[in-house]
Amino acid sequence: MPDKQGFLTTSELMWPTIQALQLLGGSGRNDEIIERVAQIESISEDKMAHKQKDNHYLPLIEYRIGWARTRLKELGLVENSGSGVWALTDLGRRVTEEELKSVPHSAVERDLLGSEKDAQIRTDIREKIVSQNDGSDSEWKVALLNRLLDLAPAAFERLSARLLREAGFRNVEVTGRSGDGGIDGVGVYQLSLVSFPIYFQCKRYKGAVSSSAVRDFRGAMSGRGEKGLLISTGVFTRDARDEASRDGAPPVELISGDELCELLKQYSLGVKTETRIIEKVSVQIEFFDDI
């Protein structure tokens, strides 16, 4: 139940936080999660703005949503990166509202997750992704690209959206659907004091991506924006790269399969790196199962 003032407690905000991440495609930044939780629970603007008596900086609901994310992370249901993006884990994608309700209220509200009893609760409901792939630089990239080629189109779009969030994009939205003319999504990128929308398209190609793909994408952008990003598992031909930077045409940034692998490695999205004497890179195949 809500507290005496009618505000949702941390426990009650855990499931809406899971739902918010589901609606965001599996990952989201803090502000996106807060906005979706407010929509899900129909929280009024007055309540969203209500400050704590002993904390004049952070509104009470935002404070509790923050703790809900922390508790979900301790339960192995979400994870977060250094760039402020939160994402559902494999277990988080499968957890049910009833299973979350089974977590003792005291374990959430009274900061008792470190106790032996609550540690056992975490052990019982969470799972860890275990990497079973190892190899040289080229081998891990081949394994990763093969896994990406197996993804459903919608899953590849969601993965691309999460990558953009990790890279600093805000308000990332996957819009790919019939009638969109090849636009799969859009995100807002801020450069110093200026921000602008960037439209993106995701292509799971096994071979070369020609200049016609760039022209088609640019055509789909016409009337929507002046900056595009084409993400592919393939290799862009010289003509495609020339077309992407052609004078007088809206620029299109290209991310090839090799560059995509490096970015996924950089942001630890399905790629695990261990550094001892030499760097050991492995692909976490299971990461992509429920993107």
- 245 part of a folded domain: yes
Query: Within this chain, do residues 173 and 82 fall inside the same structural domain, yes or no?
Result: no
164, 200 in Cβ contact below 8 A?
yes
pLDDT tens, position by position, 134-153: 334 567 888 899 999 999 99
Contacts of 258 (CB under 8 A, 6+ apart): 141, 235
Query: Within this chain, do residues 156 and 185 fall inside the same structural domain, yes or no?
Result: yes
Domain at 227, CATH number: 3.40.1350.10
- 289 part of a folded domain: no
pLDDT of residue 280: 76
CB atoms within 10 A of CB 290: 15
- 257 part of a folded domain: yes
Query: Within this chain, do residues 143 and 244 fall inside the same structural domain, yes or no?
Result: yes
- 62 part of a folded domain: yes
Indicate the burial class of 56 (C-beta count within 10 angstroms; 0-12, 13-18, 19 or more).
exposed
pLDDT category of residue 2 using cuts at 50, 70 and 90: low
Q: Which residue has the tokens 């793909």?
A: 213
Query: Within this chain, do residues 167 and 105 fall inside the same structural domain, yes or no?
Result: no
Query: Within this chain, do residues 41 and 81 fall inside the same structural domain, yes or no?
Result: yes
* pLDDT > 90? residue 216: yes
Query: Within this chain, do residues 74 and 186 fall inside the same structural domain, yes or no?
Result: no
pLDDT, averaged across the chain: 81
- 93 part of a folded domain: yes
Query: Within this chain, do residues 249 and 169 fall inside the same structural domain, yes or no?
Result: yes
Sign of the alpha-carbon torsion through 192, 66, 69, 124? positive
pLDDT tens, position by position, 231-253: 999 999 889 999 999 998 888 99
Domain at 33, CATH number: 1.10.10
Out of 45-59, 87-101, 253-267, least confident range: 45-59
Tell me which H or E stretch contains 61. helix 60-74
Tell me which H or E stretch contains 27. strand 27-29
Number of domains into which the chain is organized = 2
Instruction: Assign 251 to helix, strand or coil.
Output: coil
> How many angstroms separate the CA atoms of 219 and 190, rounded?
24
Give the number of C-alpha atoms closer than 13 A to the C-alpha of residue 45, restricted to the C-beta side: 0
pLDDT of residue 112: 39
pLDDT tens, position by position, 174-208: 986 654 557 999 999 988 788 889 999 999 988 88
Phi and psi torsions of 68, nearest 5°: -60, -40
Q: Which residue has the tokens 């990332």?
A: 172
Instruction: Assign 175 to helix, strand or coil.
Output: coil
Query: To 10 degrees, the CA torsion angle through 113, 116, 122, 127?
Result: 130
Q: At which of 78, 94, 125 does a domain end?
A: 125
Query: Within this chain, do residues 219 and 188 fall inside the same structural domain, yes or no?
Result: yes
pLDDT of residue 126: 45
pTM: 0.61
Query: Within this chain, do residues 119 and 159 fall inside the same structural domain, yes or no?
Result: no
- 3 part of a folded domain: no
- 205 part of a folded domain: yes
Range of 230's domain? 137-275
- 280 part of a folded domain: no
pLDDT of residue 3: 55
Query: Within this chain, do residues 143 and 120 fall inside the same structural domain, yes or no?
Result: no
Distance of CA 108 to the CA centre of its chain: 25
Query: Within this chain, do residues 148 and 271 fall inside the same structural domain, yes or no?
Result: yes
pLDDT of residue 127: 36
Query: Within this chain, do residues 174 and 75 fall inside the same structural domain, yes or no?
Result: no
